Amino acid sequence: MKKQRFEFFVGLFMAIGILCLAFLSIRIARNELFAAGGYEVQAVFTNCNGLRNGSAIMIAGVEVGRVKTITLEDYEAKVTLMLQRGVALQKDAIASIRTKGLIGEKYVEITPGAADQMVPPGGMLHGTEPAMDLEGLISKFVQGNLSTTKPSNP
Amino acid sequence: MKRITAISLLFAAFASAALAASPLEEVKATTEKVILLLKDPKLQGDEKKNERRQVVRTEMEKRFAWEESARACLGRHWLKRTPAEKAEFVKLFSEFLKDTYSDKVATYYGDLDKVDYQGEKIQDDYASVKLVLKTKAKLEHPLEYRMEKTSDAWKVFDVIIEGVSMVKNYRDQFDAIIAKSSYEGLIKEIKAKQPLNP
């Protein structure tokens, strides 16, 4: 009888351990299992290079949500943002894709606006700024320098 | 019943006439007009710089939704201002923007070879129009106008050049200035940047 009870507790302990492991792995994979409720907002970016599902959404450096999905729509990136309940976005808020540090991971930064109307759940945030194409800009700058100096120094 | 239909049809006709031009058409008309006006032989040369600038200013004045743009640039600080301060800010901001952009456009559009209109996208009361400016030096600069439907026409409230939003740029800068000094400090700085048109 005593032995049976002992085995039961060992089993129970193991079961709890496995459950904790499953919970943790789901949390880490960011498919929030028991996520605190929130709402979705769509935003279209011309380029979302480096952004992925689960990337952070920040306002003033405070995390207020995560990227839920990224899909291609009309050759542009349509990003679904999952925002925490209680974080309201004005219609003229702007979402930009930024980098943590110089070569860190990408996140969505939102700068709040001043419009009276708010973006409703499932609505669209129109103000977006794409991910910066640093290499493209550098090459353009270099090229631009060469070709614009030509006419002035014939 | 018939009369009601006739009246409503008439109203619909008026409404559509008022908003006849699509965002792309509006942008195209203004851009082509500015390019044409800047090519005027009477406006060439360094001494005519101010006249060229004036051409751009006049067209900008008509095509921008100044209040929306100014409000968006000031961001959340807008909400703390009185109606009189808001009106003053819109006026100051529009002058500031016209100064900054007319200078750039007047110089830059002279080097322009071709403008590629890539199309428009309309959603609710917002639209985005994309174009690529091609210079004679074979450089391509992507440009995007973000527009809003106002009572009389589609108007620009944000310009995105090479992926950098004008509103976002100024919102960050204004925010930093206000955080460092105050709203009055910001007004002073903007005023100081306007030597051309006091």
Over the stretch B46-89, which tens digit does the pLDDT of each residue have?
777 788 888 888 888 888 999 989 999 998 899 899 999 999 99
Chain B residue with minimum CA distance to A124: B123
Residues β-bridged to residue A98: A107
Name all contacts of B97-102 with Cβ < 8 Å and 24+ positions apart. Answer: B97/B60, B97/B64, B97/B69, B98/B56, B98/B57, B98/B60, B98/B61, B99/B193, B99/B194, B99/B196, B99/B197, B101/B56, B101/B60, B101/B159, B102/B53, B102/B54, B102/B56, B102/B57, B102/B60
Contact assignment for B137 to A150 by CB distance below 8 Å: yes
Mean pLDDT of A57-61: 92
Asked whether the predicted pLDDT for residue A1 surpasses 60, the reply is yes
Q: What percent of chain A has pLDDT over 70?
A: 85
Q: What pLDDT band is residue A143 in, cutting at 50, 70 and 90?
A: low
Mean of pLDDT over chain A: 83
B179 touches chain A (CB under 8 A): no
What is the reported pLDDT for A71?
A: 94
Quote helix, strand, coil % in chain A, to nearest 5: 30, 35, 35
Show the tokens assigned to A28.
């880490």
What is the reported pLDDT for B20?
A: 61
Which of B78, B124, B165 is the closest to A94 by Cβ?
B165
Mean pLDDT of A102-112: 88
**C-alpha distance from A30 to closest chain B C-alpha (Å):** 29
A152 touches chain B (CB under 8 A): no
Contact assignment for B123 to A126 by CB distance below 8 Å: yes
What is the reported pLDDT for A151?
A: 41
Contact assignment for A127 to B146 by CB distance below 8 Å: yes
Contact assignment for A113 to B79 by CB distance below 8 Å: no
Contact assignment for A129 to B165 by CB distance below 8 Å: yes
Contact assignment for B165 to A113 by CB distance below 8 Å: no
Residue numbers of chain B with a pLDDT score lower than 50: 13, 16-17, 197-198
Asked whether the predicted pLDDT for residue A34 surpasses 70, the reply is no
A99 touches chain B (CB under 8 A): no
Start-to-end C-alpha separation, chain A: 101
User: CA B8, CA B52: separation in Å to the nearest integer?
Assistant: 45
A78 touches chain B (CB under 8 A): no
**C-alpha distance from A53 to closest chain B C-alpha (Å):** 22
Which residue in B77, B79, B149 has the most chain A C-beta atoms within 10 A of its own C-beta, making it the best mutation to test that interface? B79
What is the reported pLDDT for B12?
A: 52
List of chain A residues whose C-beta atoms are within 8 Å of the C-beta of residue B160? 129
List of chain A residues whose C-beta atoms are within 8 Å of the C-beta of residue B175? 111
List of chain A residues whose C-beta atoms are within 8 Å of the C-beta of residue B74? 114
Q: What pLDDT band is residue A150 in, cutting at 50, 70 and 90?
A: very low
What is the reported pLDDT for B71?
A: 92
Contact assignment for B79 to A114 by CB distance below 8 Å: yes
- Which range, of A120-129, A133-142, A144-153, B167-176, averages the lowest pLDDT? A144-153
Between A16 and A154, name the one with better pLDDT. Answer: A16
Contact assignment for A126 to B71 by CB distance below 8 Å: no
Q: What is the pTM of this model?
A: 0.76
What is the reported pLDDT for A152?
A: 38
